[in-house]
Amino acid sequence: MAEFMTETELRSPVVPCPGTAEERWGRADDAGPLEGHEAAALLECTRAVVDPELHAALESLPGAMRRIALYHFGRQHADGTPATGDAGKAIRPALVLAAAAALGGPAARTAAVRAAVAVELVHNVTLLHDDVMDRDTSRRHRPTAWTVFGVTDAILAGDALQALALRLLAEDPHPAAGPAAARLADCVVELCAGQYTDTNLERGAPEGVTLAEVLAMAEARTGALLGCACALGALYAGAGPGDVAALDGFGRQAGLAFQLIDDVIGIWGDPRHTGKPAGADLAARKKSLPVVAALSTGTEAAAELAELYGTPCVAGDTEGVALAALAVERAGGRDWAQAEAADRMARAVQELSRAVPDPEAAGGLLMLAEFVTRRGS
Amino acid sequence: MAEFMTETELRSPVVPCPGTAEERWGRADDAGPLEGHEAAALLECTRAVVDPELHAALESLPGAMRRIALYHFGRQHADGTPATGDAGKAIRPALVLAAAAALGGPAARTAAVRAAVAVELVHNVTLLHDDVMDRDTSRRHRPTAWTVFGVTDAILAGDALQALALRLLAEDPHPAAGPAAARLADCVVELCAGQYTDTNLERGAPEGVTLAEVLAMAEARTGALLGCACALGALYAGAGPGDVAALDGFGRQAGLAFQLIDDVIGIWGDPRHTGKPAGADLAARKKSLPVVAALSTGTEAAAELAELYGTPCVAGDTEGVALAALAVERAGGRDWAQAEAADRMARAVQELSRAVPDPEAAGGLLMLAEFVTRRGS
């Protein structure tokens, strides 16, 4: 299979995806299965298109807000010197651009860059604020913003980034900008409600949580913004309400598939890849999807798991974590999560085919959905 | 002077400002000095127009976010039962509507209701989040949202309200809605930067703070949103950039005048009116405008004040607080603040007269500016 983009194309900051690569934005190679390096190239290409706009937006912030934001995005160290840290995989902006390309071709993709930046900003608002709320100390292999600048500054930077996201759309003369802003704002509300539910589910007893609740929460927390990203791309392509809804559904279902796989990795993932100790979610007694699925089976293994979850995990108790992992597996939590992820992906593909029946045009979106959900296989 | 509105007009929820009152929205009585009860009637009229839209917006939030927001706005008790608590004076929405009326008459005022709600929502985002950051436990004579629902929920409710504010404008088909949204988003960024500076100034030593810094901070924290409110009204009246800037300047200067008076009240205000103990700002060692003005005089009283501010105030030390108040007064901090407030009001009036030379049309705005700054006299 030919390389998706040449090295030169990937490096060029101004016209990063010209010629054939540009035309192939929305297309998968139909000669064989989708491959990870094609998706990686698509993501790199997205970064090349989105980063200058994103950077300009961040630079427009006043001093202190700019510094916190640039640190969070990995562009500066805590002392304000330049850095080349990890700014995330740009999945969401890639979905915006791929959806625009799938329904409206290269012109729509170019028009949607600002919306892609807005979605990426909103995603980072949730990261900044969630890290404060969850007291998470590490993000993208660096200390989280609140640990460096304090809680107040991290909250303010998040507030400023939300405003920046919606200002980008408010200043965009494109006819889709208004509906896109309304949709993105709605999505922020859904993300807040999802984080609220998550926090409250984690506070409560494991027995009080149903699988339907955690699935709804995962859809709000993860599916909503992926769906919104795809819907915004569709809006910029001039799509009608049906196609916009189908693209939203595609993103939501792919997001749920991603969350299911992510939760599987949170239990059985290789610490060398996850950067977290094995079974970190179990040690934290997290009510992740496989855990809640296992608990709801009424099996002997479920009872064992419930007992383990009844007391906090002692630091370093690898045996206890291994026992919990085994209990989830014996109760069928792992199998269920993997089957459910496959089912959600199937639904995602079905939604997509409603709006984009041409498999070639749908290729970019499929490639991204496969990429985010493949990590677990 | 005739009553601004009849009782019946004030109570009517649907057409709250009909007939003569409607026509007089933008007019002060030119027969004598502006009176507080006229402004109060204007504010009550604003609430009657704005509240149904505001309520509908809050009701559109999902369950948990709605409950926190309704509590914060005084519409529900903590247990979710209906309340008739204080939702604030509605100064900012009144400025939006009065500015629209001053430049575009009743039609512009009616068109600007959604923008007035958006501004009020943004104001309440800052209250919700500032209370978390400043650990303030009381707001409008009730426990703050974070003390009732927790820090996480108060942060999330604030995030959701910001989204709600910008969604209202994104969904507004009025041609001014886009520029208004961009301006409101810019204002949010300025408010964040102002709160950041405030927090950092409060953390540092009193000697390190200049009067220019606290004035700039007060403009960002208080003036920016009052200016934005007036600017949004002007935009909805179809005003050009010059008039919009003049209205923004009017609101900013009036906001600074308000802050100066508010700081005077924070030291010398009557506890029966402020709801706080006498000299609360001094006891908290707050670097308010009169304090920083006093400290920067290089007088003997300034040195005394600096020494008092060098150690935290012991709870109940009314003598120490009284000494600090006397030192600020002897150093000229009180006189300076009052003169500066008068100067800022003069500048506000000058800005306003650039855009609205007709004193009758400018009456509503002047009335509101007088109202917010009069409390101290």
CATH number of the domain residue A41 falls in = 1.10.600.10
For residue A10, the one-letter residue type is L
Asked, for residue B95, whether it belongs to a domain, the answer is yes
* Whole-number pLDDT of residue B374: 79
Q: B357 lies in a domain?
A: no
Q: Do residue B299 and residue B232 come from a single domain? A: no
Residue contacts between A and B (CB atoms, under 8 Å): 143
Q: Examine residue A27 and state whether it is found in any structural domain, yes or no.
A: no
The H or E element spanning position A143 is strand A142-143
Q: Is the CB of residue A348 less than 8 Å from the CB of residue A356?
A: no
- Report, as ranges of residue numbers, the positions in chain B whose pLDDT lies below 70: 1-36, 375-377
Does B59 touch chain A if contact means CB atoms closer than 8 Å? Answer: no
The low-confidence residues of chain A, meaning pLDDT below 70, are 1-36, 375-377
For residue range A115-146, what is the model confidence (pLDDT) as tens digits?
999 999 999 999 999 999 989 998 888 999 99
Indicate whether A122 belongs to any domain. yes
Task: Give bridge partners of residue B142 from the DSSP assignment.
Answer: B139
* The predicted structure's pLDDT at residue A109: 97
Q: Has residue A235 been placed in a domain?
A: yes
Q: What is the residue range of B228's domain?
A: 33-239
Whether residues B234 and B256 share a domain: the answer is: no
Partners of A188 on chain B (C-beta within 8 Å) are 159-160, 162-163
Domain boundary (B239, B266, B297) is at B239
Q: What whole-number distance in Å separates Cα of residue B224 and Cα of residue B190?
A: 7
Contacts of B185 in chain A (CB under 8 A): 163-164, 166-167, 170
B278 and B332: one domain? yes
Which residues numbered 156-195 in A keep a CB inside 8 Å of some CB on B?
156-160, 162-164, 166-167, 169-171, 177-179, 181-182, 185-186, 188-190, 192-193, 195
What ipTM does this complex have?
A: 0.89
What residues of chain B lie within 8 A of the CB of A133, using their CB? Answer: 151-152, 155-156
Contact A162 B163 (CB under 8 A): yes
Q: Do A159 and B163 touch (CB under 8 A)?
A: no
Please indicate whether, in this complex, the C-beta atoms of B164 and A152 are within 8 angstroms of each other.
no
> Cβ A170–B181 below 8 Å, yes or no?
yes
Token pair in block for residue A281: 């979610």
Q: How far apart are CA A325 and CA A333, in angstroms?
A: 9
Whether B163 sits inside 8 A of A178 (CB atoms) is no
**Angle of CA points B198, B337, B298, to nearest 5°:** 85
CA distance, residue B171 to nearest chain A CA (Å): 6
* Domain-located, residue A115: yes
Q: What is the pLDDT of residue B35?
A: 55
Task: Quote the pLDDT of residue B16.
Answer: 42
Contact A185 B196 (CB under 8 A): no
Q: Specify the number of domains making up chain B.
A: 2
Under an 8 A CB cutoff, do B64 and A182 touch? no
The confidence score (pLDDT) of residue B1 equals 32
Per-residue confidence (pLDDT) for residue B25, from 0 to 100? 56
Indicate whether B43 and B104 sit together in one domain: yes
Q: pLDDT tens digit string along A205-223?
A: 877 899 999 999 999 999 9
Same domain, B57 and B101: yes
Q: B52 and B86: one domain? A: yes
User: What integer pLDDT is reported at residue B205 of this predicted model?
Assistant: 81
| SS3 per residue for B212-281 | HHHHHHHHHHHHHHHHHHHHHHHHHCCCCHHHHHHHHHHHHHHHHHHHHHHHHHHHHCCHHHHCCCCCHH
